[in-house]
Structure 1
Amino acid sequence: MGLIVSILVLSFLIFFHELGHFLAARFFGVHVERFSIGFGKVIFSKVINGTEYAISTIPLGGYVKMKGQDDSDPTKVSLDSDSYNMKPPWQRIIILIGGPFFNFLLAFFLYYAIALIGANDYAPVIGAVQPDSPAQQHGLQKGDKIIEINNQPIQIWDDLSEAIGASNGSIEMLIDRNGTVLSVTVTPKVLEVKNIFGETVKRRMVGIGPSGEIVTRSYDPIEAISFAWNKTVEASKMIVLSVEKLIEGVIPAKEMGGVISIVQVTAEASQHGIVALFILTALISVNLGVLNLLPIPALDGGHIIFTLYEMIFRKPLNEEIIYRLTLGGWAILLTLMAFTIYNDIARITNG
């Protein structure tokens, strides 16, 4: 069942990405010759209003084939008015951005749904107090629930972490201890800790850890908009930062995962309920949006760079250069795909 859910999630993500390109193309009057989910041999297709809607054998991607655009041969062009390459550069850029934009839009919708269903977070309840820490020195105890920090209401553990990190000097904590509300003044220490990328960073901390207690927060339809926006932006920044750390070598290349990892993790998430599945799907959708905007010739980002060149210099890039760069882009993508699949298999083999 998990495998079926994973395939459906991937197919839907691909469909939504290509739908962005498709709708933008149709809006600007570009004829779409084929809208395919998957690559390879077409196993099912139907022509509606001149567009072939197809499902292909390899469900690891998809594409919208527009008139006048052919990634397999960038030198093929059409001079018809409904051709992609005859549209103004700014319209082509919007068509190219349409796919990634729909990935971010889908993530927003998923986070919005999560907000309405109820988002799970750690409760601001102390589960551990480090020895010789400011928390211990000022009498904080396991089981204390943090209500406020510097008059700022604390609802989840992340609120607590952010409030401490953004504070200056001592902080006033309002805590609930077995039904009794107490006020405690604590002076955080700046300590060296490891971030999620394994880097050593300095943070203001008081020396407490969460109890693991979960609190579910539901939002009204208006509040859910802010929640969805913040989560989409947060996820986008995280993916961009991850790519940056990968290029810098902070994240080892062996940590890269491919389609097998995506299927495995999605299958696991589906077993933990709809909220977990929505969270992971939103993150994968943002991932697709960001990665497709990378300036690699075979991706949307690469085509955007070509089009920006045309806008700036008032002439298209040489066809031979585009052709060679596109081949190089495909070589990079296929190499990355093979490498990530190798990593996935190695992880499975090593347990």
Structure 2
Amino acid sequence: MGTITFLIVLSILVFIHELGHFLAARYFGVTVHVFSIGFGKKLFSKTWKGTEWRFALIPLGGYVKMKGQDDTKPGLIEDGKDSYNNIKPWQRIVILFAGPFANFILAAVIYFAIAILGATSLAPTIGNVIENSPAAKAGLAVNDKIIRINDTEIKTWEEIGKTITQTQGALKFYVQRGNKVQAFIIKPQVSDSENIFREKIKKRMIGIAPAPKLVTINHSPIEAISYAYDKTIESSKMIFLGVQKLIQGIIPSSEIGGVITIGKVISDASESSFIALLAITALISVNLGVLNLLPIPALDGGHIMFNLYEIIARRKPSDRVFMYLTITGWVILGSLMLLGIYNDINRIFLKE
């Protein structure tokens, strides 16, 4: 069942990505010969309105084949206003960007659905108070529920951390203890901590940890729009930073996961709850959008760079340079895929 869920989720993400390219291409009048989900041998196809829609044997991606576009033949010239190579460079950039953009839109739609259905998060209930910490000295105790900090209403544990780090000076905590609400004045202290990339940082803390309790937050449609926007932007920034930290060597290459890891994450999420599956799908959709925008030849971002060069230099890169860079791009992508699979296999054997 997990494998089926993985294939369905991946197919939807690929379909939306390629649909972005397809719709933008058709908007500019470019003929699309093939819209494929998967690579390799064709399993099923149907021609509709001049495009062959197909499912292929290897379901780990997809593509749209436009008239006049062939990475193996960079100098390909196909006459007609409906040819990709005959439209303006900025129009090609829009077509290329439309795929990743469609993934960002899909993620936002999913996050909107999560907000409406009920987003789950850690409850703002204290599970542990560190000895001699500002919280302990002020009198906070296990099972206290933080309902407000100064004038900021608190609904989730995440909001506690944000409020503490984004304010200055002492804070007034309103805490529900049993049937009573009590107020405590706490002055956070700057302490050593780690961020999500395990980097050593300094931040304001009061010395509390969450209880293992979840809370479901239901949003109105207007609130859900804001939630969807914030989560999509937050996820995009996190993935961009993750790539940056990986290049800098802060995140070790052993952390790179392949299709096995992705499949396991999706499978585990589907077994947990439908909301968890939606959340993972949204995050992978953002991931797909961000990674495709990287300036690596053979990816959308690389092709965007080629077209930007054409706009600036007023000429296309030479066929030889285009081919060498594209081959280099494929080598980089192939190496990353092999590294991901290698890490996946290592994790499996390490667990055993």
Measure the CA separation in 1 of the matches of 2:143 and 2:55.
55
Measure the CA separation in 2 of the matches of 1:240 and 1:131.
37
Residues 108-187 of structure 1 aligned to structure 2 (within 5 Å): 108-187=108-187
Aligned residue number for residue 301 of structure 1: 301
Residues 282-303 of structure 1, C-alpha deviation per residue, up to 9 Å, x if partnerless?
Answer: 0000000000000011000000
Aligned residue number for residue 209 of structure 1: 209
Aligned residue number for residue 5 of structure 2: 5
Distance 1:218 1:247, change over 3 A: same
Q: CA deviation at 1:328?
A: 1.0
Residues 321-332 of structure 1 aligned to structure 2 (within 5 Å): 321-332=321-332
Aligned residue number for residue 62 of structure 2: 62
Q: CA deviation at 1:49?
A: 1.6
Residue identity matched to 1:303: H
Following TM superposition, the consecutive aligned residue runs of length 4 or more in structure 1 with deviations greater than 4 angstroms are: none
Aligned residue number for residue 225 of structure 1: 225
Does residue 1:30 correspond to 2:51, yes or no? no
Measure the CA separation in 1 of the matches of 2:117 and 2:309.
45
Residue identity matched to 2:237: K
Measure the CA separation in 2 of the matches of 1:80 and 1:318.
22
Residues 222-270 of structure 1, C-alpha deviation per residue, up to 9 Å, x if partnerless?
Answer: 1100000000000000000100110011111011001111111101100
Measure the CA separation in 1 of the matches of 2:57 and 2:11.
12
Q: CA deviation at 1:323?
A: 1.1
Measure the CA separation in 2 of the matches of 1:76 and 1:333.
24
Residues 44, 54 of structure 1: 8 Å contact kept: yes
Residues 75, 323 of structure 1: 8 Å contact kept: no
SS of the residue 1:350 aligns to: helix
Aligned residue number for residue 286 of structure 1: 286
SS of the residue 1:271 aligns to: helix
More displaced, 34-43 or 68-77?
68-77
Residues 151-174 of structure 1, C-alpha deviation per residue, up to 9 Å, x if partnerless?
Answer: 111111111111111111111111
More displaced, 53-62 or 76-85?
76-85
SS of the residue 1:59 aligns to: strand
Residues 44, 55 of structure 1: 8 Å contact kept: yes
Aligned residue number for residue 39 of structure 1: 39
Residues 75, 320 of structure 1: 8 Å contact kept: no
Q: CA deviation at 1:198?
A: 1.2
Does residue 1:90 correspond to 2:87, yes or no? no
Residue identity matched to 1:142: V
Q: CA deviation at 1:273?
A: 1.3
Query: What is the aligned length?
Result: 351
Structure 2: stretches of 5+ with no match in the other structure: none
Measure the CA separation in 1 of the matches of 2:279 and 2:182.
36
Residues 174-209 of structure 1, C-alpha deviation per residue, up to 9 Å, x if partnerless?
Answer: 111111111110010000111221110011000001
Q: CA deviation at 1:131?
A: 0.6
Percent of residue pairs bearing the same amino acid type: 54
Measure the CA separation in 1 of the matches of 2:160 and 2:132.
20
Does residue 1:272 correspond to 2:272, yes or no? yes
Aligned residue number for residue 253 of structure 1: 253
Residue identity matched to 1:125: T
Residues 125, 144 of structure 1: 8 Å contact kept: yes
Q: CA deviation at 1:141?
A: 0.6
Measure the CA separation in 1 of the matches of 2:79 and 2:297.
23
Residue identity matched to 1:224: A
Measure the CA separation in 2 of the matches of 1:177 and 1:49.
66
Q: CA deviation at 1:75?
A: 2.4
Q: CA deviation at 1:346?
A: 1.2
Query: What TM-score do you get using the length of structure 1 for normalisation?
Result: 0.99
SS of the residue 2:272 aligns to: coil
Residues 33, 51 of structure 1: 8 Å contact kept: yes
Residues 84-127 of structure 1, C-alpha deviation per residue, up to 9 Å, x if partnerless?
Answer: 01011111100000100000000001000000100001111111
Residue identity matched to 1:167: T
Residues 36, 53 of structure 1: 8 Å contact kept: yes
Measure the CA separation in 2 of the matches of 1:72 and 1:118.
48
Measure the CA separation in 2 of the matches of 1:84 and 1:157.
50
Aligned residue number for residue 52 of structure 1: 52
Residue identity matched to 1:19: L
Measure the CA separation in 1 of the matches of 2:80 and 2:319.
19
Structure 1: stretches of 5+ with no match in the other structure: none
Residues 127, 212 of structure 1: 8 Å contact kept: yes
Measure the CA separation in 1 of the matches of 2:178 and 2:7.
48
Measure the CA separation in 1 of the matches of 2:33 and 2:281.
29
Q: CA deviation at 1:32?
A: 0.1
Residue identity matched to 1:297: P
Measure the CA separation in 1 of the matches of 2:80 and 2:347.
50
